């Protein structure tokens, strides 16, 4: 059956879109509501995923405890990264964050005894494959699959169940972001975004609030990193390529930088444009090889972004008045 009509294929696209959507929320909190240009967000994903895998495989820790530790490491890393860099001008801060993403990938590739090197968690698990962080996750997915089976029958495959889990988490993250930005803490972030000097003049510790938003955004990105690791069953440094950060930025631009409701919609659009193109088997895509489709994939996403910025610079659900005010 053509992948365009394949439910399992689209469920997989939904999984990837949901994970990128969660990552986009971490950027929305940092950039859309605080004005920080972070181009190294994938580093938080990698640290969280690798921390979880290392603690499960090497220390024998349970999956959920190791996952919590991974989220904590991502949050702490946000603080450690922010202390020496937040005093830089915005463009220099953006450049440094790109370097941070590259550094984390190189460390994961070269610290073979700790991370498994280029082979990643396959090497970590050893030749006997005696331990895996994937088992507990698959058990959780199986339970969800069983619940869904009562509603949709045989269509409730593991991929569909995984998509359901990812999108429930996406909705929970959206609600958390909505609550945070409407709290007094969130209003301070928006004041910093609009006029940092004015916020400081009212007695707000701008540096401290920026550290906090880096930490919170790091935890959300860490959640995306864990889900990415669970979905792929094995991880390697190339799975956390710095370009993943720019995929999340693409979703954020599509949604509107301050549109919380727009991120899920933009994630779906991005998933169809990006992941879908690679596996379409109907003409004219069927005339292209997989390598050519990879290039076409990027071209279509880029063209869509250019068209959107021309017609709706505020994004799919963004507020044009807020954009003009900024």
Q: State the residue range of the domain holding 90.
A: 17-240+319-325
The answer to the question of residue 88 being in a domain is yes
pTM of the model: 0.88
The label of the residue with tokens 């929970």 reads 172
CA distance 124 to 134: 13
CB 87 within 8 A of CB 239: no
In a domain, 308, yes or no: no
State the Cα–Cα distance between residues 255 and 284, nearest whole angstrom. Answer: 29
Please, what is the angle between helix 7-27 and helix 42-57, to 10°? 110
DSSP codes of every residue in 187-213: HHHHHHHH-HHHHHHTT--HHHHHHHH
Buried b or exposed e, range 60-73, using 16+ CB within 10 angstroms: ebebeebbbbbbbb
Q: How many domains does the chain have?
A: 1
Residue 255 lies in a domain: no
Would residue 294 count as lying in a domain?
A: no
Residue 62 falls inside a structural domain = yes
Per-residue pLDDT 10s for the chain (326 aa) are: 445 557 777 888 899 999 999 999 999 999 999 999 999 999 999 999 999 888 888 877 888 898 999 999 999 999 999 999 998 888 889 999 999 988 998 888 888 878 877 766 666 655 444 445 666 677 777 778 778 777 777 667 888 888 889 999 999 999 999 999 999 999 999 999 988 889 999 889 999 999 999 999 999 999 999 999 888 777 888 888 888 898 899 899 888 888 898 999 999 988 887 776 666 666 666 676 666 666 676 777 777 777 777 777 666 666 655 554 44
- The verdict on residue 257 lying in a domain is no
CA atoms lying within 13 Å on the CB side of residue 47: 26
Query: Is 156 contained in some domain?
Result: yes
Dihedral in degrees, nearest 10, Cα atoms 118, 73, 42, 132 = 40
189 within domain boundaries: yes
């Amino acid at each position: 059956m053509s992948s365009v009509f394949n439910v399992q294929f689209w469920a997989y696209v939904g999984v990837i879109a949901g994970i990128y959507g969660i990552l986009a929320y971490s950027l929305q909190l940092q950039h859309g509501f605080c004005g920080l240009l972070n181009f190294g967000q994938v580093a938080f994903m990698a640290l969280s995923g690798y921390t979880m895998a290392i603690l499960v495989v090497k220390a024998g820790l349970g999956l959920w405890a190791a996952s919590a530790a991974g989220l904590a490491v991502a949050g702490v890393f946000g603080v450690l990264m922010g202390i020496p860099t937040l005093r830089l001008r915005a463009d220099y801060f953006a450049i440094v964050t790109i370097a941070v993403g590259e550094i984390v990938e190189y460390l994961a590739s070269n610290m073979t005894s700790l991370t498994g090197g280029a082979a990643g968690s396959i090497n970590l698990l050893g030749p006997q494959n005696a331990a895996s962080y994937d088992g507990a996750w698959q058990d959780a997915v199986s339970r969800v699959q069983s619940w869904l089976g009562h509603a949709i029958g045989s269509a409730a495959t593991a991929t569909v169940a995984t998509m359901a889990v990812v999108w429930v988490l996406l909705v929970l993250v959206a609600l958390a972001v909505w609550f945070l930005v409407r709290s007094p803490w969130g209003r301070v972030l928006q004041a910093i975004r609009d006029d940092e000097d004015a916020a400081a003049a009212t007695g707000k510790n701008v540096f401290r609030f920026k550290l906090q938003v880096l930490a919170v955004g790091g935890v959300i990105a860490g959640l995306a990193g864990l889900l990415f690791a669970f979905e792929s069953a094995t991880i390697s440094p190339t799975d956390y390529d710095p370009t993943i950060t720019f995929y999340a930025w693409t979703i954020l631009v599509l949604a509107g930088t301050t549109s919380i409701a727009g991120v899920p919609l933009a994630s779906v659009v991005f998933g169809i444009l990006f992941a879908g193109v690679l596996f379409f088997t109907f003409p004219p895509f069927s005339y292209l090889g997989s390598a050519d489709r990879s290039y076409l994939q990027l071209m279509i996403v880029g063209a869509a972004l250019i068209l959107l910025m021309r017609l709706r610079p505020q994004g799919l659900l963004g507020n044009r008045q807020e954009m003009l005010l900024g």
